Structures are given as C-alpha cells and as structure tokens.
Structure 1
C-alpha cells in the first residue's frame, strides 16, 4: 500500500484517510482543582479484585469502604508547567501519567461502538533522555506495559501502532512520561485512525441550550463555546431557548458572546415549558433546519470542556450505527468529582441509578483512574442526562422529539425509546461538563416531586417490561406512607395529584405543559411544610413538655432492626392525639442531613432546614389530614394495580403522536406565530 501526499491510503480495497480521534489537552484556565482530570502525578494503587473479595456482605462492605479511601499523596503540578492548551513542561526527572479522564484513550468504547479497529498514538517530546511509555489496561483494571521510546537527541516524535482487538469488555490506553536530567516538554499527542474515505469529514452540531433566569451563567457558556477556535468548525447553530424573565440578552456578558458566535447564535423566546419544552424546541428547529448532523442538548448552568463536544461528534461520526453520545457530569463545586460514570434504569423498580458495579460521586483527585478497577470495565448505559447529550438528527427524525413532561424523565425516557428502536446511548469518557450536583437540591420533596412521580409512572407505562410495572406501584405506596409519616403533607398531596393526572391519559400532557407548574405552586402554598422561611427566628423557639428519652439525639442513623421497628410504629403514632404544646412551639430543629423519616416520625412538629441551606420549614402533624390522604393513597394505588395493562396500552399507542414534530409545533405556535408575524 502507498500513501498519497494528502494522507489518503490506497490499496486493493476501499480508500481510507487519517482521522484525528483525540488529542492531548490541558486545562483551559489552569485551574489546579481540575489538574487530576488531565495529568496524574500519583502512583497507581489498584484496589482488590471483587472476585478475590468474594460474596460475603461484610467483606463487600469493607472493600467498598476501602475503594472509597483516598490514595493521593498531595503531589501537585505547578500551573506554570502548562505552556499551552496542548503543551506541558516537566521538571528534571519528573514522572507523570496521562492515564487520566481527559487524556487516556477509552479503547473499549471505540472497540464496541465504532468502525475503528486500530489506532496510532503519536507523541512529540523534547528533552534528551526523556522516556515515553505506553500502557493498556484490561477490563479488570490491571495495567500492561505496551512499548516505550527514549529521546536520543534534543527531541523526538514517536508513533505507536495500537490494536483495539483486546478491549471487548473494557480497558484504556495511555502514556506516561519521565523527564530527562534537564527536564522535558510534552509538545503534544494525538490518537489517529485510518477510516473509510466517506467518513473523512466531521459532522456538525446544533447546540440546544434551555435557559431560565440564569442570564450570566448562560452568557458565559455561550462565550466559552464561541471563543474556542478549534470547536468552531463543529458548530452549526447555537440555539438558546429563553424561557425566563431575567433574559440572557440583558446579561453584561451577552454582547461578547454575541460577538464571538456571530450569526451562529439564535435566541428563541417562549413561555416556560420546562426542560422538555425547551429541548424539544431545539430538537424541532434542528430537524426542520436539517443542516446539522446532530443536536446537542446542554444545560445553561454548566462549565463546558469544549474538546468534549469535538470528541462526541467524532465518536458519533465513526459509530457503527447512529448513536446517542452523552457526556459525563462533574461537580462544579468540587471539580474533580464525577457524578456518575454511567446510568441505567433498573427495570423492576423502574428507577434511574448508577450501574450496579459502579460508584457515584467519585473523586479523581482522591483516587486516580489507574487505581480504580471499576473504571476500566466498559459502562453500558440506558440513557444520558441532557446536561450534555449529542443526538443524531436521524434518530430524532425516526423516534420523535422529547416527551412533553416539563422536567424529569424526559432524557431517560428518550434513551429507552431510542434503544428500543435500535439506537444505543454511550456515556463517553472524555466528554464532560461541570454542573451543580443533584445532592445540593431538594427536588424529592419540593414542587418537583410532582414531576418525579408523574413522569416516572409515565415512563414505566411506556417502557416497563413487566405486566404491572414491576415494583412501581408497591414502592410508590411505600413512599407515600413515608412522606405522610414524615409530616410532608405537601409532598404527599403533590405525588397523589401526579397519579391522578397520569390516569387522565397521555393526550392531556401538551395542553398543561405551560400551566401545570403555576397550579402546583399555588396548590402547595396551603401547607406549612411547603412555606419556606429564610430567617429561622421568624418561627418560635424549640420547646417540649418532656425531654428526649434518655437524652438521645436525632443524628444517629438507625440499624436495620431499629428501622423496621420505626416503620411499624409510624402509622400507629397517627392514632395518638397531637401534643398541645407542639401547636405553639416546634418540638425539634433538624438540619437537612438529619431529617430522615425515621427521625421525623417522632415529632408532632419540627423545624426542618432545606438541602440548599437557604431556608427552613415548619412541619406539623395533622392526624385528620393523614387519615384522609392515607385513604386516598390506598384507593389510587389499588386502581393503578388494576388498570396498569390498559393504561400502558393507551400511553404506548399515543407515544408517536405526542412526541411528533407536528404535536410540538402546535404547542410552540403561540411563540413561533408571533415571531413569524414580527418578521
């Protein structure tokens, strides 16, 4: 075979071209908090293989605790060692690894989902006597040395041919560098592959950002996307679906964002239709426009790694079939902490979760990629959150747009729908954003609890493989009892309302998309547990007639037996009259972290703080309300158990219609017609 001047390889078979898959990158802003995601100065301290741990629960618990323990020694890279976006200087004799989240090569994902069978790593290194060594890992995490090279003169360019065949279950490639006596500079590195000539050109993406009252955050994100010259050719249109009162166009940072994006930026103003309404508008505009290969969903309150967008597009271009390519989420407040490496919908419970052999809230600054076995097994997923998710336009054209559910479950339902149609989702390492973590929110008990309950049931009716939704109905009943026993009446009422709305059928969803939030907020104001108070002193002090039994505090987490006893006694407490003093004074004050149901069930009233630390609420026991709602809870769950098969049929038959571009066009008509009239 011969190489033409343009880099095209010709032979007896089809022509191929060289395609860049991934390049070495370093932090844009030299933020030391994110260094562990790009370069690693720590040793690899591999945890124990789970097959050696065995099946004992005690042994598993002990091993899980050990896996979470930090192995970091605190070694730091000086910011001045970063010379550019792609170039890094090493001190004399310094050793560091590029086996990191952003610079290791996720070989098993390329092996499983793309047409690529072999890659070439090229490293440009200067510094006499410096050494570059290539390693690979297998699915069980152990590393193997592949090849090394030494700089003989002042500098050298080294190329390594690396097959993807051994990575069927998992594994990475990466390279380590040891500087010579006078230091070294890693000038750059690229991972390339030979691909068919018809895959030579990269695709483009419409970025779809839904925003509401985060003007500065959104404008800064737009600026970040527009300022990256390497990303620019991959962008078709950046669409902002403006659904708030504080407009992104009024931000002091917006003029610069508008300048750097130019005519690629479109701001589409519409009513508050939630995340699903915002993203569906972007999806619809992208499909109708038809000029971009992909539509990329992205939250407005994120910090983006622009290279991740390029990698997602490149991976999608070379996938065997149209594939949804999602990014990962890092904690914007603890920037080396990963939310989840891959999520599934557990079919029996029908609840989203980190895959069973993975960990959430993983801190790469405490334990690096090379030390964590579980990160080397490929994580196969059911969906990817729309904080960053690249969807091929052809998938949207075939399976439809977002489900009209305002917020919650729109992304996971879409992933399940696409999977059923033969289009997989890949949560792709090396593509990521930094986002406010879910753990800092209180969406399980506030107004969002309505959408959690309603949309989870809708998604289960659409996709559960079990005749009556598996554990769904029983678990929902148990949660209702828990909220009632915890004095969270507003939450229980909203969840009940959600179930009533599910029973109304799928065709009501579009009509109430713009009104349901207002109805929910007005409805819940009547309950004291939903009335948030910023100043704790606006509520009475804690007083109680009797002190806590034996002086026990409420910060202990009960054991299994104590939990079962508390659960059994909780409903019986509702038969007791309310203590008179509890109507005037709260009996306890509980921080959010200690406000589990097993503590709340002890009181007739309590002041409880919210997860975000900004306010408190007064919880008060109401036996009459408890009995009324408990009766309704029993009745509606019996009805769901009885009617599930018929409901599932109704929702599944209507799915194609309610997610169609035509249905969404009617929903958007008040704003699109107004825009057309203005033009």
Structure 2
C-alpha cells in the first residue's frame, strides 16, 4: 500500500514573496562565485491552486525548492524508507526531468519523460548514496504551449515503524489573533486534521483566545479535537509542559507537535512531520524550520548546535543564518545540500514522540530560554536524536528588531544557560562557560546596561540555591524582574520626540565597517582601557544632566558605547530612545559582585552539577509539574 510522504504544493495565498520557496522559474548565473538571478519570470498568477501551477510557453520551471524538493539524505539516514515514487500529473506538451544532487550540491540528471496532453509521469527512485547529503527534484519544460502541473506527490511502498497520530500543543500569552488564525488554518485542512488527535491551546494570558472574534466558528469546526487549557503564565516551558502532560495522560497519540503562538503555519508541514516521525527507525525528535514572518523568504537557520565548551547555541554553518531564497534558491546554495544534524530544534515547531516524554520527563521549569535546547541534549543522553527536517516549516515573528539580552529576559538567558551547562557539560568546571559569562557581565557594565547586569547577578544567586528554587519561582519571578525596571533609567523608553533631551554632540553616525569588533590582543587592550576608565574616572556633571551623544541602535555597539559618559540610544524595536548614563559607583559595585558570584559558582560547580543532575528526573516529572499546575488533586 503506497504511503504519501510529501505533496507537491503551492502557497495558500498568491504571495509573490514566498513563491521562491515553492518553485524556481528563474535563470541564474554566477559572478565571482556568488549566484546572480538574470531573469524575472516568477509570477504569482501562475499559481492556479494549492496543487496546480502553470509553466508558460517555452519556459522552464524547476521545483528544486524548499517545499517541493525531496530531502533524500534525511530519509536515508533516519528512516526505513528505501525508495520513493515521484508521481507528477500534467496537462500540455513538454518534458519533465528528474534530478538528484550530492552533498556538494552538484546536480545529476536521473530520468526524463515526454509530456503530451494529460500525462501521469511516474519515477521510482532509490533512497541510497545520499549518506552525506542530497535531494531529489524535478523540472518541467514547456514547449509551444503552456504545461499545467495538475498535481504531484512523493510516496513509498515501505511500511512505517509507527502508525499513530499526533496531538498539537500551542502555548500562548496574549496572542489570541494569531491563535485563531492558526486554528482556522487547521480547520480548513481536513487532510492534515486526519493526522491529529487533539489540539491543546494552553492559554496563559488575560486576553483569552476564547474571547477572540472568529473563535466560536473555528471551535465549532474543530469540535472535540480542540481543547482550551487555561492556566497562569508559566512561560513557554510551563505551557509546553502542560501540553506534554495532557497528551501523555490522554494516552492517544504517538507524538506531540509543539507550536508557538505568533506564527503562520504551512499546514502541509504538520503532515510531513508526522509521516517522517512514523518512518523513523527509532523514536526521534523532528523539528521544523523557521522563516521570518515579516520577511517571508528568509530562513532563520537550517541546523542549530550547542557549543558545549562555551555552552552557547549557534548555527551549524555561519553562512546559513538568515538565508534569503530570493538571492539564492536550493540549486544555487551548495551548503544546503549537506545533511546537517542539529543538537536541538527550537520549539516554534517541534514534534516529540510521547515515548520520549514518558522516559525523560517534561521540560525543565525555567519559564523561557534554553528549555528546547536542554530537552534535546537530555534526550540525546537517553539515546534519542533530533532532526531538523527540510521541507517542514512555519513563519515566526523574527527577533531581528528585539534585544532581549538586556531586558527582563536577561535573567533567563543567564540562569538557564548556566543551568544547562551544569546539567550537560562534560568539560571540567564547565569549560569556558563561566569566563564567558563574566565577560558578558562586563560588556553590559561597560555599555551602561546596569539593569541587565543586575538581573544576571540575581540569576547566579538563584542558581546557587540549588534545584529546589526552580518550581516555586516559576510564576513570581518574571513580574518581579519587570517591576525592577523602575530603578534603572536605561529601561525607560521615551517615545514622545518632544520629551527627548538635547545632546552635547548631536547624533553620531558610523559608516558600515568604520571600525571592527576588537579581537585577540586588541580586545585585551580595549577591555583594560575601558574598564580602567569606568572604574577610575568620575562622570562630568554636564554629561549627567544632559546626554553626551545620540546613537542609532546599530551604531551603539559594545565597543563604541564605553567611550561615552551618557548616550541617547534608540530602542531595538524603533519605538523610541532610552538614556544610558555612566555611574562609577554602580559600575564598581556590580563588577565586584560579578567577580564574587562567578568565583563562588566556579568553586561550587562540581557540587551544584551533581545536585542538579540528581534532581533532574524529579523536577521534570509529571508529578512535580502537576503540583506547579495545581492539578494534583484534580487528577487524583
């Protein structure tokens, strides 16, 4: 019996910006090794439906695209699928050509078929020799008349290892409009809903999804498949843990797909994730990719890893960050043909087998930040790997216009990174984690971000208390962090231009690449000079009463700001400006505290690592989470 793995499909809306993710009708060349598009043949009007696409007379369209090529290397490495069948239905005269690539992105012609009238072309393709990478795809070439692609799919006669469905867990905080849109998208896709047992919406806000216009209609359409769970705001880790708990307790699903709230979903991605998970040799965490919701052809990253020496997340390859498919599609991007195996996948969209949840527990109770990375590292230690599956993705609100490392989230960045290091670092003393953490503190202090440094110090103090602090602080910490902003002038955004103070030097603008981030010996010299200045010199009264300079956010780098005593700096989201003011007493106090706390953490590293690792099964257990949710009695 054939099993459908992947449909050939096109956008739900005729959006020309995202057409490159589905088809590549362009002619390309290369200039100095960089791809250059030399045509403008992409037309949204050629999208004739969800499954249909027109190839114009004498034109050639390649479906070597993110959503319509077949990522053969991933299916070979992780699943039991040994061959796939490509079926393409067309109307018109022309030809279809099937290609494959290797890990270097070199394309190789595999098969061809002439098209005339209504034609069904079938190609049986082996899934082998894709060890390090490679895709399958097809091109359609039209003759003297247009060719209409009437439909296509990739299927297999191999049998899946598992046959169960998935539940969906959507965690939301005051994003009811996004949630209703996602639910409506699901309700309009019955072929996707057939793969779903229950959709859990964990609503942690005071702007309720159930009160949003349009909700009654989508609730009626989804019926018993939709369950709304109201609870206090416990962050992403609390919301997703609730979805894990509900799914495991229900006992119906083989998988749980976690979804963020501020997203637009390509619904086919849900079905692809389910099918890939069913065919995996062993239970596997299957993640999906993230595109920028405000710049839709931009891919966040194809694969993300954790550098365990510094314990910092990063992309597997530097060049893959924010890849723009308008500038280079699949055929023009050799690195995209490698099979890249991540350490973790973000929980904007990530499918976890319920077997994994039962064995390793729920999320760490950390509110936000590092919950997804820690979970994947924990799963790997239990023998479960993570895959970021090409062709499965959504669009998520980007953090390009955010800087959450210096707002209230600085606490969670610091504590949860250090906590994850305590739990999973194999390097003595955490490797370079502690020294890097101390340098981050100093950067905040030299750039007059005293609020962020203060929160980071609280994070270390809480961490030193041991694992008993995790669950009790879930609900109360974030409001306290936000309330503390009133004590720090740099956290106050001035949105009214008439209330902005004048600066002594006006606005300084730095041309691109005017100066570079200091590294190596230059960095050591810069740090010594900047720290000495902030430690020794008083701030002239004039620069206290009036900002010395105005800087755009992009110009306010950590190696420029330390040269000033005060500055008016634009906020990352562009809604206003904040006043940053140097204070020698505060700098001295916070730097001393940073050094003391990091020394104490270093001294107690081995003991704390042992305590947190021993407590991990308990703090991530359903029983501990039920106490935090307040549902222990309800469930008996």
**TM-score, normalization by structure 1:** 0.90
Contact 1:19-1:195 within 8 A present in 2 as well:
yes
C-alpha deviation, 1:77, in angstroms: 2.9
SS in structure 1 of the partner of residue 17 of structure 2: helix
- 2:528 aligned residue: 568
Distance in 2, matches of 1:592 and 1:559, equals 16
Distance in 2, matches of 1:247 and 1:615, equals 29
Contact 1:563-1:598 within 8 A present in 2 as well:
no
Larger mean CA deviation between 302-311 and 203-212 belongs to: 203-212
- 1:29 aligned residue: 13
Please tell me whether residue 108 in structure 1 is matched to residue 73 in structure 2: yes
- 1:283 aligned residue: 244
- 1:299 aligned residue: 260
Contact 1:357-1:374 within 8 A present in 2 as well:
no
Q: How has the CA–CA distance of structure 1 residues 672 and 541 changed in structure 2, closer, same or farther, with 3 Å as cutoff?
A: farther
Q: Where does 1:514-533 land on structure 2 (aligned, <5 Å)? A: 514-533=475-494
Q: How has the CA–CA distance of structure 1 residues 503 and 304 changed in structure 2, closer, same or farther, with 3 Å as cutoff?
A: same
Distance in 1, matches of 2:517 and 2:342, equals 33
Contact 1:220-1:257 within 8 A present in 2 as well:
no
Contact 1:540-1:584 within 8 A present in 2 as well:
no
Say which of 155, 162, 165 aligns to 1:192.
155
Say which of 95, 116, 136 aligns to 1:173.
136
Distance in 2, matches of 1:579 and 1:566, equals 22
C-alpha deviation, 1:260, in angstroms: 2.1
SS in structure 2 of the partner of residue 601 of structure 1: helix
Please tell me whether residue 603 in structure 1 is matched to residue 564 in structure 2: yes
What residue ranges of structure 2 are gaps of 5+ in the alignment? none
Distance in 1, matches of 2:460 and 2:333, equals 42
**TM-score, normalization by structure 2:** 0.96
C-alpha deviation, 1:156, in angstroms: 1.6
- 2:51 aligned residue: 86
Deviations 1:591-617 (CA, angstroms, capped at 9, x unpaired): 111111111101111111111111321
Contact 1:205-1:313 within 8 A present in 2 as well:
yes
Say which of 108, 111, 126 aligns to 1:147.
111
Contact 2:25-2:61 within 8 A present in 1 as well:
yes
Measured on the aligned residues, the alpha-carbon RMSD in Å equals 1.9
Please tell me whether residue 157 in structure 1 is matched to residue 120 in structure 2: yes
Larger mean CA deviation between 17-26 and 70-79 belongs to: 70-79
SS in structure 2 of the partner of residue 191 of structure 1: strand
Distance in 2, matches of 1:149 and 1:338, equals 33
Distance in 2, matches of 1:559 and 1:455, equals 27
Q: Where does 1:256-405 land on structure 2 (aligned, <5 Å)? A: 256-356=217-317, 358-405=319-366
- 1:558 aligned residue: 516
- 1:20 aligned residue: 4
Distance in 2, matches of 1:672 and 1:75, equals 61
Distance in 2, matches of 1:46 and 1:111, equals 31
C-alpha deviation, 1:31, in angstroms: 1.0
Q: How has the CA–CA distance of structure 1 residues 594 and 145 changed in structure 2, closer, same or farther, with 3 Å as cutoff?
A: same
Contact 1:328-1:338 within 8 A present in 2 as well:
yes
SS in structure 2 of the partner of residue 541 of structure 1: coil
Q: How has the CA–CA distance of structure 1 residues 362 and 214 changed in structure 2, closer, same or farther, with 3 Å as cutoff?
A: same
Contact 2:517-2:559 within 8 A present in 1 as well:
no
Distance in 2, matches of 1:422 and 1:46, equals 43
- 1:12 aligned residue: none
Q: Where does 1:226-237 land on structure 2 (aligned, <5 Å)? A: 226-237=187-198
Contact 1:341-1:358 within 8 A present in 2 as well:
no
Larger mean CA deviation between 563-572 and 184-193 belongs to: 563-572
Contact 2:82-2:158 within 8 A present in 1 as well:
no
SS in structure 1 of the partner of residue 112 of structure 2: strand
Contact 1:203-1:314 within 8 A present in 2 as well:
no
Please tell me whether residue 542 in structure 1 is matched to residue 514 in structure 2: no
C-alpha deviation, 1:471, in angstroms: 0.7
SS in structure 1 of the partner of residue 320 of structure 2: coil
Residues paired across the two proteins, number: 632
Distance in 2, matches of 1:467 and 1:285, equals 39
- 1:124 aligned residue: 89
Please tell me whether residue 138 in structure 1 is matched to residue 96 in structure 2: no
C-alpha deviation, 1:155, in angstroms: 2.3
- 1:39 aligned residue: 23
SS in structure 2 of the partner of residue 468 of structure 1: helix
Say which of 205, 210, 219 aligns to 2:171.
210
C-alpha deviation, 1:158, in angstroms: 1.4
C-alpha deviation, 1:672, in angstroms: 7.4
Distance in 1, matches of 2:2 and 2:9, equals 20
C-alpha deviation, 1:262, in angstroms: 1.6
Please tell me whether residue 663 in structure 1 is matched to residue 621 in structure 2: no
C-alpha deviation, 1:536, in angstroms: 3.9
SS in structure 2 of the partner of residue 533 of structure 1: coil
Q: How has the CA–CA distance of structure 1 residues 587 and 553 changed in structure 2, closer, same or farther, with 3 Å as cutoff?
A: farther
C-alpha deviation, 1:537, in angstroms: 3.1
Larger mean CA deviation between 350-359 and 340-349 belongs to: 350-359
Distance in 2, matches of 1:235 and 1:24, equals 21
SS in structure 1 of the partner of residue 367 of structure 2: coil
Say which of 383, 399, 406 aligns to 1:422.
383
Deviations 1:213-234 (CA, angstroms, capped at 9, x unpaired): 1111111111111111211101
Q: How has the CA–CA distance of structure 1 residues 508 and 552 changed in structure 2, closer, same or farther, with 3 Å as cutoff?
A: closer
Distance in 2, matches of 1:162 and 1:195, equals 13
SS in structure 2 of the partner of residue 438 of structure 1: coil
